[in-house]
Chains A and B, each alone.
Chain A
Amino acid sequence: MSQTTEKVRKTLARRYRAEKRFKAFGLGAIGIGLMALVLLFTDIIGKGHSAFVEYEIQLPVTFDAEVMDVSDPRDEEQLNYGNYQGVIRDALADRFPGVESRLDTRALNQLVSTGAGYALRDMLREDPSLLGETRTLWLLADDDVDLFLKANEKQREDSRLNEKQQAWVAELEASGETRMVFNQSLFSYGDSREPEQAGILGAILGSLFTMIVTLVLSFPIGVAAAVYLEEFAPKNRFTDFIEVNINNLAAVPSIIFGLLGLAVIIGLFGLPRSVPLVGGIVLTLMTLPTIIISSRAAIKAVPPSIRQAAMGLGASKMQVVLHHVLPLALPGMLTGAIIGMAQALGETAPLLMIGMVAFIVDLPAGPLDAATVLPVQIYLWADSPEQSFESLASAAIMVLLAFLITMNTLAVILRKRLERRW
C-alpha cells in the first residue's frame, strides 16, 4: 500500500464527519424554511377558520307597531327610522324575565348584535303583513357572545362577558337556542366597527377595481415597452438608460411608489385620495418592470427563424412583430402579467400612502369611489383591539391567499399548456 493511501485513510473519518455535518446543515436549512411555511399557514388557519361561521340566538320577536313606531311598513321613511332594537329588547326581556336592574338589562341587551335590527327591517319590508305578528327568529349574536360560544372551557374564563351574561348565554346554549351558521356577512358587507357585522366584500371590490385599473394600464404599456426594447430600440445610450431604469425600478422599495403617488398623482395632478384609480396607477408603475422583464423574455424565446421567414415574404418589421412575434410570445407575456398582478394584489405599503387606509363602510361601485383593498383591510383589522377582528383578519388572509394561489396556479397551467417547444 502506497504512502498516499495510508495518509488519506487517516483523514477519512474526520472528512466524512464533516461531510455528514455539512449535509445535515443543508437539510436543517430546508427544514427551517418548510417549518416556517407550515407554521405560518397553520397559525393563520387556526386563527381564521372560526371567522367563517357565526352564532345566532333564537328569540320570539313580536313586530309591535307601537314599540317600533312603524304604522305603515310600506312607508320607506317610517321603515328606516323604526325602533327595531326596542322589539329585540322586549324579546330578550320576555326570554329572561328575572332581569330587573338597569345595569343587568343593558348587559342583557348586549347579547344580540346591533345589526340584528336591520335584519328585522328587511323582513318587514319584504312582508308588511308581519306587523303585529310574533315570529321565532334567529338573530345575529354579538361578537363577544360569538367568541364565548366558539371558545373552549379554558378560554371561556377570559371572556369579556360578565358572569351574568355568561350564565344567560350558557342557558341559551344548553337549551339549543343558539346555533352556528355560515358567516354570510363576511362576504356581503363592507367594514364595520362591530366585528360580527364586518365583511370583506368592500375590500374585495376595492381590490377588484384596483386590479382592473392596474391590468388595463400595465399590460398594454408593459408589452409595448417590451416590444420596443426587444425589436425596435437602437443600441444606444438612451436604450441603455431605459434598461438601467427598469432594472432598478424592479428593486425600489414599494413604499417609494406610494410617495410618488402621493406627491405626483394626488398632489400635482389633483386626483382624489383613497380611490382605486390612483391605487391602480401606483401599482401599475410598481408592476411594470416585472411585466416588461417577463414579456421581453417571452419575445426573446421566439426563434429568429420565424422572424426571418416572415421578413423573407416581404412583411415589414411591424407586421412581423404584430402578426408573428406577439401571438407566439403572448402566453409567456400573460404568465408574467398574472404574476405581476398577484404581486400587486398582495401589496399594501404604497396604498397606505395614498389614503386607501380609510375606514369605509359602503361598498365601492367603481374605480372612483373611496375604497380599501384586501391587504389593507387585513392591516386595519390586525391593528384593531377586539379579539374578533384578529380572526376576521386571519379569514381575510385566507381569502387573499386563496386568490393568490389561484392566480399562480393559473400562471403555471397557462405556461404548461401554451408552452411551445422549438
Chain B
Amino acid sequence: MQTGNLLLLLVVMVAGAYYLGLRRSFALARPLGGIRHLHSLPFYFAMRSAMWCALPALVVLGLWLAFDDSIIRQQVLASLPAELQPTDASSYNLTLSKIQNVASGALPVNFVEPPIAAAAEHLQSLRQTSAMALTVVVIVLCMFGGAWAWLKVSPQLRARQQVERVLQTLFMLCATVAILTTVGIVMSVLFESIRFFGKVPVTDFLFGLQWSPQTALRADQVASGGAFGAVPLFMGTMLISAIALLVAVPVGLMSAIYLAEYASKRVRTVAKPALEVLAGVPTVVYGFFAALTVAPFIRGMGESVGLDVASESALAAGLVMGIMIIPFVSSLADDVITAVPQAMRDGSLGLGATKSETIKKVIFPAALPGIMGGILLAASRAIGETMIVVMAAGLAANLTANPLEAVTTITVQIVTLLTGDQEFDSAKTLAAFALGLMLFITTLVMNIFALHIVKKYREQYD
C-alpha cells in the first residue's frame, strides 16, 4: 500500500478509536449516574484511545520510512557478485543509480550486465515486501493499541493526566527541534569537512593562497588536484563585508539617532516603516539590483574618470549589501539608544549641553556596548549573505584589497560548488562543506559574543 493511502487509513482508524473510546466511557458512566462519576471527561478517554491507536503506529511508520531505503540498498549491493562490488564511493553511486534506473524502467534491462538486472529485480521485490510488511505492521499496531486503550477504560482511570502528559511530551519534542537542527547542521558540515580534510590538509585550506577547485576528469590532466587555499575567499568576504559595514553603520546609526532624538512624530511615522521596507526586500532582489544596475553604473563611472573597474566589482556588491543592512543596524541602534534612560539626557541638557553634545558625549558612550553588539550582528549577517554576492560578485578568487576588482566570497563558492551536476564525494563538493563549517563557526562565535554583549548592556539599565 502506498504511504499516502496508509496514512489515510491510519486517520480513519484513529477516528474510530476516538469514537469507541467516547462510547465506552459514556457506557461506563451511565450505571454510575452520569459522567461526573468518571475520573476525567469522556473527551479525555476518547483522546487517550486515539493516542494509543496512533502514536505507536506513527513512530514505527516514521522510523521505517526513514531507514528502509538505505537498508534495502545495502542488501541489494551485498547481493551483487564480487567483481561488480563497488570499490570506492563514486563507483558505489554509479552502480546504485544504474540499479535504480533499471528498476524504475528508465534504463532498458538489456543495456546492463545481467547481475545488475537481477539486482534491480531484487530491489523491486524487496521494496514491495517492505511496503507490504509496513502496511501490515502499522495496521496491527493500530488495532492493538486501540484495543488495549479501549479495554483499559474504567471510571477510575486517570485519563486526563495521561493525555496531558503525552501532549506535554509532544510539546517538548517540538522545542527540541531547535537542538536537533543545530546538531544536524554541525553533523552535516563537520563530517563532510573531516572527509575533505582527509584529502586536503587543514593548513593548506586555511593558509593557502590559491583557490581553483576544479577537479580533473582524468587523473593525468594538468592541475588534476585542484588548489584549495581559502585565504582569497576569506579576504574577499572580508572586503565586501567591510564595504557593506562602511555604508550601513554610519547611515544606520545616524538615521537611528535622528529618528530617536530629533525627528518630529510625523517624520518618524513615515521614515521608520519606510526604512523597514528595506529589510523586507528579498536578497535576490538586491542581487538583481546590484548585478544589473549598480555594477554597470559603477563601471561606467569608473570609465568616465579613467579607472578600470571590473564588471563584478566588490564595490557594487558591498554597496548594495550595505543598503540591505541599513535597517538592521538602525533598528538595533534604535533599541539601544532608547534604552538609555531619560535621566541621562535630562542631566546633560540641564547643564546646558546642546542636543548633539548630549548625544555625542553622553548617550553614545553609554550606548556603545549595545551598538558594538549590533554592529557585530550586522557583520555576521554580511558575512553570511549569499544572493547579493552570488549575483554581483565574481567567481575568480583574486587576492586583492582593491574594491574595484572582482573578488569571490565563501558563500559564492559554496553555491558554485554545490549547484549543477556533482558527485557527492569529490574534493570539490566536500570543499563546499568545509567552507560551510568555516562560515558556521565564524557567524556562531560572532553571534554568541554579540548577543552576550547586548544582554549585558540591557541588564545594566533594567
Contacts and interface: CB of A to CB of B under 8 A. Distances in A.
Interface of A: 8, 15-16, 18-19, 21-23, 25-30, 32-34, 36-37, 40, 43-44, 47, 220-222, 224-225, 227-229, 232-233, 241-242, 245-249, 251-260, 262-264, 267, 269-270, 285, 288-289, 292, 316-318, 342, 345-349, 352-353, 355, 357, 375-376, 378-379, 382-383, 390, 393-394, 397, 400-401, 404, 408
Contact of B440 (A25, A256, A288, A382): A256
A225 to B, nearest CB: 4
Given A33-B326, A44-B289, A382-B291, A253 B284 contact: no
Contact of A379 (B70, B259, B391): B391
Most chain B beta-carbon contacts within 10 A, residue among A40, A288, A357 = A40
A257 B189 CA distance: 10
Contact of B451 (A25, A28, A29, A247): A247
B287 A255 contact: no
A259 B436 contact: yes
Contact of B356 (A19, A245, A248, A393): A19
B114 interface: no
B84 to A, nearest CB: 22
Interface residues of B, number: 91
A40 B436 contact: no
Contacts of A353: 414-415, 418-419
Contacts of B384: 252-256
Contacts of B356: 18-19, 21-23
Contacts of A37: 274-275, 277-278
Contacts of B170: 224
Contact of B284 (A222, A249, A346): A346
A404 to B, nearest CB: 6
B377 to A, nearest CB: 7
Contact of B188 (A19, A222, A233, A263): A263
B394 to A, nearest CB: 14
28 contacts: A26-B257, A27-B258, A29-B251, A29-B258, A30-B254, A30-B259, A32-B326, A40-B286, A220-B174, A232-B171, A242-B179, A247-B447, A249-B181, A251-B451, A252-B440, A252-B447, A255-B414, A255-B415, A256-B439, A259-B188, A262-B188, A292-B178, A318-B164, A346-B281, A349-B283, A352-B418, A353-B414, A397-B288
Contact of A375 (B282, B291, B381, B443): B282
Contact of B281 (A40, A233, A318): A40
A27 B251 CA distance: 10
B175 A259 contact: no
Contacts, number: 264
Nearest to A231: B171
Given A37-B277, A269-B66, A382-B287, A252 B443 contact: yes
A28 B184 CA distance: 45
**Chain B interface, >50% SS class:** helix
B285 A378 contact: yes
B202 interface: no
B387 A348 contact: yes
Contact of A252 (B160, B326, B444): B444
B174 A251 contact: no
Contacts of B443: 251-253
Given A23-B356, A349-B386, A382-B292, 14 more contacts: A30-B254, A30-B259, A33-B330, A37-B277, A225-B171, A245-B178, A248-B444, A256-B189, A259-B189, A259-B418, A260-B181, A262-B188, A264-B184, A346-B283
Interface of B: 66, 69-70, 160, 164, 167-168, 170-172, 174-179, 181-182, 184-185, 187-189, 191-192, 250-255, 257-259, 262-263, 271, 274-275, 277-278, 280-289, 291-293, 323, 326-327, 330, 352, 354-357, 359-360, 377, 380-381, 383-387, 390-391, 411, 414-415, 418-419, 424, 432-433, 436, 439-440, 443-444, 447-448, 451
B361 to A, nearest CB: 11
A227 B171 contact: yes
A33 B251 contact: yes
A342 B279 CA distance: 12
Contacts of A285: 177, 181, 184
Contacts of A16: 354
A317 B160 CA distance: 11
A297 to B, nearest CB: 14
A352 B419 contact: yes
Contact of A316 (B160, B286, B323): B160
Given A245-B178, A245-B179, A390-B292, A404 B275 contact: no
A406 to B, nearest CB: 12
Nearest to B270: A34
Contacts of B167: 318
A138 B391 CA distance: 38
B289 A263 contact: no
A249 B178 contact: yes
A259 B14 CA distance: 37
Contacts of A349: 283, 386-387, 390, 411, 415
Contacts of B415: 255, 349, 352-353
B255 A267 contact: no
A253 B383 contact: yes
Contacts of A255: 384, 386, 411, 414-415, 436, 439
B414 A25 contact: no
B384 to A, nearest CB: 2
B181 to A, nearest CB: 5
A289 B391 CA distance: 27
A393 B288 CA distance: 8
Contact of B178 (A8, A36, A262, A289): A289
A400 B360 CA distance: 41
A355 B415 CA distance: 11
A379 B284 contact: yes
A259 B433 contact: yes
A158 to B, nearest CB: 14
B419 A357 contact: yes
B175 A252 contact: no
Contacts of B175: 224-225, 228-229, 233, 242
Most chain A beta-carbon contacts within 10 A, residue among B179, B275, B282, B418 = B282
A253 B411 contact: yes
B348 to A, nearest CB: 13
Given A225-B175, A256-B189, A292-B178, A316 B164 contact: yes
Contacts of B323: 33, 36, 40
A228 B168 CA distance: 7
Most chain A beta-carbon contacts within 10 A, residue among B184, B288, B377 = B288
B271 A30 contact: yes
